[in-house]
Amino acid sequence: MSNALRILIGGEFFRRLREEQCFYADKTALIEELVGESTSAMVSLLTRPRRFGKTLTMTMLREFFDIQKDSKDIFAGLNIAKNTTLCDAWMNKYPVVFISLKQVEGLNFAHALGQVTELFRVLAIEHRYLLNNNALSESDKTALQKLLDATVSQPELENALKMVSRALRDHWGKPVILLIDEYDVPLARAEENGYYAEMVSFLRNMLGAALKTNDTLQLAVLTGCLRISKESIFTGLNNFACYTISDEEFADKFGFTEEEVDSLLSQAGLFHKKAELKEWYDGYRFGNGKEIYCPWDVLQHVAKLQKNPLAKPQAYWNNSSGNRIVRSFVGRTDLNIGDKFEALLAGGCVEATIVENLTYDALHASEDNLWTLLYLTGYLTKASPEQMEDCGMTSDSEATALTIPNKEVRKIFTSSIAAWFTDTVQTTDRTVLFNHLWAGDAAQLAAMLTEQLYATISYYDAHEDYYHAFLTGILSFSRWRVRSNHELGNGRPDIFVLDLHGKRAAIIEIKIAKDRASMKEAAQSALAQIEAQDYALGLPSILTKVYKYGVAFWKKECLVLGGEEEVPAE
């Protein structure tokens, strides 16, 4: 592996990637879109889902603009270096304030303010040289010292960005570039933990002072997942532009394009794996349909493949953060969304009105808000024209057709639905179902299981494992021992339930029918397998009753045969 391509997993620092010669997909043309002649916005908000390179982009901007750095070498050979006029005017020409709010996720407001105080203490340490400048006012020096000592009040914290910007302008004699990464993380955590109103007020005051009434500002760039409505956070802010995943601007500046993935795989000697990566990690459509791969997943998988060519794709995106959004949506009992989820999981589409201006406290206020949240955070994406045609939708609809982007996100949905179903089953009274099980009443068992199937979000994997997990979930978390694919007799039955106290057991074998008419044949085949494999011979000799069930599933219907009692042979 000495010739392996250098990949820095989680590499968020542009300078380190360049100096250590790690793989970097050149996104420096973003700088031209930000400060080119056609751009007029002083404040730009760029929103993208998590793990699409927002922080790396912000550290790239910092390295380019920061007057304290010499960045010519690390930008050499990149796209922006070809624009010598722009580089001469902007590269390392402005003082920069950079903060990331991604770690501000306190359990209460006081905790969150403490985390913000620590962020500004670190910022003050970075710029403590300002204390030696006699041109600075005594009040600003005092305020800076209070940041260093972490003794600031909330009003002083709300004005800290403006104060540091003013001090930098006075020191360097130039206006400041302000970079704020993941600006909305504190709002998301505040909404989850019950202090949203306090956090909205704090951020409104802090960002208002830094962006609206700050005459020291040259340019500001913010990143986040959602575009929070101007009325909530950015009230009265003029010369403000927001670019979401729906906009054509910056559409290919976050995430990997097809060409960038081709280049990565070619450099790593793994181009033969492209179809695999495309199936799992491609499918996001930004702007007017620009197809984008999730960079976090692609780099994770390529790094694994370099060590183990047989490595299987994983849901890396899911593992990097929780999936509370999907779980909360799936668990909604006040919305009729089951059929829509089933359509998505079957590869189809749903239509929704996208609400670009959201507030975190209103995310769950309507179904459209929830579909918008799944769209803006990367769980869903715009359907292609071909997908829309397959779903019977037309492009002239005012609503947006949404679909699951790839196999990885589909896995996140299915695992979330399975977890939701397990949680639901644990709180459900299944006494009647078990009474039928232990009475050998196959017809009533089939009726109850069919009822459960219709109450459950199905995802039609066309595999037995879905129905296996469904039935195992219903039978588990009871006072009886439930085993799945456990060795018995001459094989492994799908499920057996053991009640030692009652000296009884139930053996269950599952088959999928190709249509409704063949369900009886499939159930009979399952029963025959139980006999042919002598599963009952593997049960404890203490038992006096064994129930054998052949279960056939077709879509949301269930047929159960068997249930006869027998006394095992001694």
What span, in angstroms and rounded, lies between the C-alpha atoms of 298 and 320?
13
Question: What pLDDT score was predicted for residue 231?
Answer: 61
CA atoms within 13 A on the CB side of 337: 22
What span, in angstroms and rounded, lies between the C-alpha atoms of 211 and 177?
11
Number of other CB atoms surrounding residue 389 within 10 Å? 12
Contact, 347 vs 459, CB < 8 A?
Answer: no
Number of other CB atoms surrounding residue 483 within 10 Å? 18
Mean pLDDT of 369-378: 89
Instruction: Select from 193, 210, 201 the least CA-distant residue to 232.
Output: 201
Mean pLDDT of 205-218: 91
What span, in angstroms and rounded, lies between the C-alpha atoms of 554 and 460?
10
Alpha helix (H) residue ranges in 427-494: 431-439, 442-454, 464-475
* pLDDT higher than threshold 80 for residue 567: no
pLDDT tier at 540, thresholds 50, 70, 90:
confident
* pLDDT higher than threshold 80 for residue 547: yes
Alpha helix (H) residue ranges in 52-195: 54-65, 72-75, 84-90, 109-126, 138-149, 154-158, 160-172, 185-193
Instruction: Select from 309, 306, 307, 326 the least CA-distant residue to 317.
Output: 326
Instruction: Select from 175, 223, 186 the least CA-distant residue to 61.
Output: 223
What span, in angstroms and rounded, lies between the C-alpha atoms of 433 and 445?
6
* pLDDT higher than threshold 70 for residue 115: yes
Question: What pLDDT score was predicted for residue 43?
Answer: 93
Distances (CA, A) of 421 to 145, 367, 458: 54, 21, 10
Question: What pLDDT score was predicted for residue 217?
Answer: 95
* pLDDT higher than threshold 90 for residue 7: yes
The C-alpha angle with vertex 368 and arms to 366 and 369, in degrees rounded to 5, equals 65
Mean pLDDT of 311-323: 74
**Mean pLDDT over all residues of the chain?**
89
Query: Which amino acid, residue 466?
Result: Y
Rg (C-alpha) for the chain, rounded Å, is 29
Number of other CB atoms surrounding residue 288 within 10 Å? 10
Question: What pLDDT score was predicted for residue 412?
Answer: 85
Mean pLDDT of 23-44: 90
* pLDDT higher than threshold 80 for residue 325: no
Question: What pLDDT score was predicted for residue 58?
Answer: 97
Question: What pLDDT score was predicted for residue 487?
Answer: 74
For residue range 130-150, list pLDDT tens digits in order.
999 988 999 999 999 999 999
Q: Which domains does the chain have, with CATH numbers?
A: 1-25+256-317 (no CATH), 29-243 (3.40.50), 324-414 (no CATH), 428-562 (3.40.1350)
Question: What pLDDT score was predicted for residue 103?
Answer: 92
> Could you tell me the two tokens for 347?
């590869």
pLDDT tier at 333, thresholds 50, 70, 90:
low
- Identify the residue with better confidence: 514 or 361: 514
Mean pLDDT of 144-170: 96
Question: What pLDDT score was predicted for residue 121?
Answer: 97
What 8-state DSSP symbol labels residue 421? H
Mean pLDDT of 154-165: 96
Strand partners, 398: none
* pLDDT higher than threshold 50 for residue 13: yes
What span, in angstroms and rounded, lies between the C-alpha atoms of 117 and 99?
12
Instruction: Select from 380, 371, 455, 451 the least CA-distant residue to 413.
Output: 380
Mean pLDDT of 372-379: 90
Question: What pLDDT score was predicted for residue 234?
Answer: 82
Question: What pLDDT score was predicted for residue 1?
Answer: 43
For residue range 167-178, list pLDDT tens digits in order.
999 999 999 999
Taking each helix axis as running N to C, give the angle between helix 431-439 and helix 442-454, from 0 to 180 degrees, rounded to the nearest 10: 150
pLDDT more than 90, % of the chain: 62
Contact, 99 vs 184, CB < 8 A?
Answer: no
pLDDT tier at 322, thresholds 50, 70, 90:
low
Mean pLDDT of 91-109: 96
pTM (2 d.p.) = 0.84
For residue range 416-443, list pLDDT tens digits in order.
777 777 777 777 888 999 999 999 999 9
Contact, 74 vs 91, CB < 8 A?
Answer: no
Contact, 338 vs 457, CB < 8 A?
Answer: yes
Number of other CB atoms surrounding residue 185 within 10 Å? 18
For residue range 178-199, list pLDDT tens digits in order.
999 999 999 989 988 999 999 9
